[in-house]
């Protein structure tokens, strides 16, 4: 295999066909159009054009392989998996199909299945260094997981938080960053200093980092899975979506909209970390403001506040690089206690992902969810973190491979059943940073502009007042950041595919 096989772009005009039927001219036209969109990173437009090519000629493996690649770029791992499998079914010798399917399996953290596809590639291309490297890295993950399972015992696992004594950690005289005082309370001055420290690319001392984590864990342990938020009639309230480790864009939100305060409350709706390489700075900023303003600053769990996602997409690696393994495990404990959603003035429900695979789910059902765990692959907790809206009525399997897709009728029924006005969710990149769907009853907000330095999208946040809860949207562009690429701390195997 030549070097172009390493995450090669979609097959373009003039590529050697791998199926006997190269399709008709109209299908090739749509394929070429899709390739141009892909080259411009217009992945959703590329998916639409590849789909038209497939409609014209459903017997060409690269059409499915190309669309699979575009789905991977938009993190629709379930759809990418299905297309890669279709490509392989059409042409078992289509090597890119195995690459695409392996990447999709990894996105779904199904490493054994990914390894099986990479083994197929290595068998056909034994001298391909790139394939061998990916195979070896995937094999290491599978072996590590098997080892961890083998040594696991039924005894109660000791909490990392119980093993940490902050008082025994000394602060070196050379440390010039912010310090928590003897009462250990976070102050506004501490946080302003912390932001400036992070801008200079300096670290918060581990003593204070541990203190913040222990304090925030103790706070979240006492919170319900569904948090009720009261917004006074004339008060402003801001809702932000995914941040994904883009610290300098987080600081820009505060520049545009003001620092959090009792008169300027915020809700950040999950996916604070991963992918972006300043996740540590983001999470300590957010946790610090939560401790300063517990009744005016709110945080919800996203699908990336989970152990397996953090292991693959960079947060765990970043914490280990900047602090320690112990702290990475402590973060996992803290994330398990993050609330799952928020209810604004009893009328607007805010969750990271979306709605449910069954009817008649109530707010009380959500309140009863036991969230102190890693999310399961189905059920209310999973769907709150993973589901997405669709324009069609009804429900459909998720293109992500986890959760579901839900239509406007599902949204209507849920709102009516629970006497709600609309829902806000995040979880999806949108060109303007937001999208209003389902006749205004399902709003998506995404606050990481130019996501992963590749998507070209704007970020956005929502502002409203407590009187009518009518949403207003502010979109903004990405700001410059230091020359550290996204996924810099990601698992080696995942970075090989991205």
Per residue, the 3-state secondary structure of the chain, as one string, reads CCHHHCCCCCCCCCCCCCCCCCCCHHHHHHHHHHHHHHHCCCHHHHHHHHHHHHHHCCCCHHHHHHHHHHHHHCCCHHHHHHHHHHHHHHCCCCHHHHHHHHHHHHHCCCHHHHHHHHHHHHHHCCCCHHHHHHHHHHHHHHHHHHHHHHHCCCCCCCCHHHHCCHHHCCCCCCCCCCCCCCCCCCCHHHHHHHHHHHHCCCCCCHHHHHHHHHHHHHHHHCCCCEEEECCCCCCEEEEECECCCCHHHHHHHHHHHCCCECCECEEECCCCCCCCCCHHHHHHHHHHHHHHCCCCEEECCCCCCCHHHHHHHCHHHHHHHHCCHHHHHHHHHHHCCCCCEEEECCCEEEECCCCCCCCCCCHHHHHCCCCCCCCCCCCHHHHHHHCEECCCCCEEECCCCCCEEECHHHHHHHHHHHCCCEEEECCCCCCCCEEEECCCCEEEEECCCCHHHCCCCCEEEEEEECCCCCCEEEEECCCCCCCCCCCCCCCHHHHHHC
Q: Is the pLDDT of residue 153 over 80?
A: no
Mean pLDDT, residues 25-49 taken together: 94
pLDDT of residue 147: 82
- Token representation of residue 167: 């008082």
Mean pLDDT, residues 448-475 taken together: 97
Superfamily of domain 3-151: Tetratricopeptide repeat domain (1.25.40.10)
User: Which residues have CB under 8 Å from 423's CB, separation 6+?
Assistant: 348, 349, 350, 351, 354, 355, 411, 414, 415, 441, 442, 443
Main-chain dihedrals φ then ψ at residue 13, nearest 5 degrees: -60, 130
pLDDT in tens, 316-341: 999 999 999 999 999 999 999 999 99
Mean pLDDT, residues 35-51 taken together: 94
- Report the candidate in 9, 113, 66, 12 with the shortest Cα–Cα distance to residue 401: 113
The CATH number, out of the four listed (2.60.40.2140, 3.40.50.2000, 3.40.50.300, 3.60.21.10), of the domain defined by the range 171-497? 3.60.21.10
pLDDT in tens, 212-262: 999 999 999 999 999 999 999 999 999 999 999 999 999 999 999 999 999
CA distance 188 to 397: 45
- Report the candidate in 57, 56, 54 with the shortest Cα–Cα distance to residue 82: 54
Main-chain dihedrals φ then ψ at residue 19, nearest 5 degrees: -115, 155
Q: Cα 154 vs. chain centroid, distance in angstroms?
A: 31
User: Which residues have CB under 8 Å from 486's CB, separation 6+?
Assistant: 245, 275, 276, 277, 314, 452, 453, 454
Mean pLDDT, residues 106-113 taken together: 91
Cα–Cα separations (whole angstroms), residue 20 to 16, 59, 134? 11, 9, 30
Residue 497 — pLDDT band, cuts 50, 70, 90? low
Mean pLDDT, residues 279-300 taken together: 98
Cα–Cα separations (whole angstroms), residue 82 to 28, 35, 399, 497? 21, 20, 9, 18
User: Which residues have CB under 8 Å from 55's CB, separation 6+?
Assistant: none
Sheet holding 297-299, edge to edge: 297-299, 266-268, 236-240, 459-465, 472-476
- Structure-token match 């054994």, residue found: 112
pLDDT of residue 22: 46
Q: Is the pLDDT of residue 17 over 60?
A: no
Side-chain half-sphere exposure of 357, counting CA atoms within 13 A: 16
Residue 12 — pLDDT band, cuts 50, 70, 90? low
Cβ–Cβ < 8 Å for 94, 66:
no
Main-chain dihedrals φ then ψ at residue 256, nearest 5 degrees: -75, -35
- Report the candidate in 32, 89, 101 with the shortest Cα–Cα distance to residue 59: 89
CA distance 319 to 219: 22
Q: Is the pLDDT of residue 5 over 50?
A: no
Q: Which has the higher per-residue pLDDT, 26 or 5?
A: 26
Main-chain dihedrals φ then ψ at residue 329, nearest 5 degrees: -70, -35
Residue 3 — pLDDT band, cuts 50, 70, 90? very low
Q: Is the pLDDT of residue 18 over 90?
A: no
CA distance 51 to 58: 9
Q: Is the pLDDT of residue 148 over 90?
A: no
Q: Is the pLDDT of residue 434 over 50?
A: yes
pLDDT in tens, 374-407: 999 999 999 999 999 999 999 999 999 999 999 9
Q: Is the pLDDT of residue 23 over 60?
A: no
Residue 135 appears among annotated catalytic residues: no
The residue from 135, 205, 304, 352 that is catalytic is 304
- Report the candidate in 124, 143, 428, 164 with the shortest Cα–Cα distance to residue 302: 428
344 Rama sector, left if φ>0, alpha if ψ -120 to 50, beta otherwise = beta
Cβ–Cβ < 8 Å for 408, 438:
yes
pLDDT of residue 181: 84
Q: What is the mean pLDDT of the chain?
A: 92
Q: Is the pLDDT of residue 198 over 60?
A: yes
pLDDT of residue 150: 78
Strand pairing report for 388-389 and 404-406: parallel
Residue 1 — pLDDT band, cuts 50, 70, 90? very low
Bridge partners, residue 425, by sequence = 444
Q: Give the percent of the chain with pLDDT over 90.
A: 85
CA distance 444 to 442: 7
The residue extents of the domains of the chain are 3-151, 171-497
């Amino acid at each position: 295999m030549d070097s172009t096989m390493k995450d090669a772009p979609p097959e373009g005009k003039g590529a050697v066909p791998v199926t006997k039927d190269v399709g008709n001219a109209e299908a090739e036209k749509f394929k070429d159009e899709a390739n141009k969109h892909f080259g411009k990173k217009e992945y959703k437009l590329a998916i639409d054009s590849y789909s038209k090519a497939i409609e014209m000629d459903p017997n060409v493996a690269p059409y499915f392989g190309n669309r699979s690649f575009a789905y991977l770029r938009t993190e629709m791992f379930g759809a990418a998996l299905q297309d890669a499998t279709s490509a392989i079914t059409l042409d078992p010798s289509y090597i890119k199909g195995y690459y695409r399917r392996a990447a999709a399996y990894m996105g779904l953290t199904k490493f054994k299945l990914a390894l099986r596809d990479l083994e197929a590639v290595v068998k056909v291309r034994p001298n391909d260094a790139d394939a061998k490297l990916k195979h070896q890295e995937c094999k290491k993950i599978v072996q590590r997981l098997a080892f961890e399972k083998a040594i696991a015992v039924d005894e109660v696992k000791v909490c990392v938080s119980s093993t940490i004594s902050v008082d025994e950690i000394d602060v070196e005289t050379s440390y010039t960053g912010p310090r928590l005082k003897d009462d250990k309370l976070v102050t506004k001055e501490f946080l302003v200093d912390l932001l400036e420290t992070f801008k200079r690319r300096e670290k918060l001392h581990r003593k204070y980092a541990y203190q913040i984590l222990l304090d925030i864990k103790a706070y979240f342990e006492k919170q319900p899975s569904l948090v009720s938020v009261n917004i006074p009639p004339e008060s402003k309230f801001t809702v932000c979506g995914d941040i994904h480790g883009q610290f300098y864009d987080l600081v820009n939100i505060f520049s545009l909209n003001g620092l959090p305060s009792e008169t300027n409350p915020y809700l950040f709706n999950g996916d604070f970390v991963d992918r972006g390489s300043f996740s540590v700075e983001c999470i300590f900023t957010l946790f610090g403001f939560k401790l300063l303003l517990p009744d005016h600053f709110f945080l919800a769990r996203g699908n990336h506040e989970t152990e397996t996602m953090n292991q693959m997409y960079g947060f765990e690696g970043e914490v280990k690089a900047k602090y320690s393994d112990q702290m990475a495990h402590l973060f996992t404990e803290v994330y398990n206690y993050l609330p799952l959603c928020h209810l604004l003035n009893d009328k607007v429900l805010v969750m990271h992902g979306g709605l449910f695979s069954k009817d008649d789910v109530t707010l009380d059902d959500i309140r009863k969810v036991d969230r102190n765990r890693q999310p399961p692959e189905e059920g209310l907790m999973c769907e709150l973190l993973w589901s997405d809206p669709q324009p069609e009525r009804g429900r459909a399997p998720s293109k992500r491979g986890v959760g579901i897709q839900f239509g406007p009728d599902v949204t209507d029924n849920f709102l009516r059943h629970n006497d709600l006005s609309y829902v806000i969710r995040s979880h999806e990149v949108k060109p303007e940073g937001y999208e209003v769907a389902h006749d205004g009853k399902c709003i998506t907000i995404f606050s990481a502009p130019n996501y992963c330095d590749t998507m070209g999208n704007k970020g956005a946040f929502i502002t409203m007042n407590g009187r009518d809860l009518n949403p207003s949207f502010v979109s903004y562009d990405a700001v410059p950041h230091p020359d550290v690429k996204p996924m810099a701390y990601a698992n080696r195997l995942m970075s090989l595919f991205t």
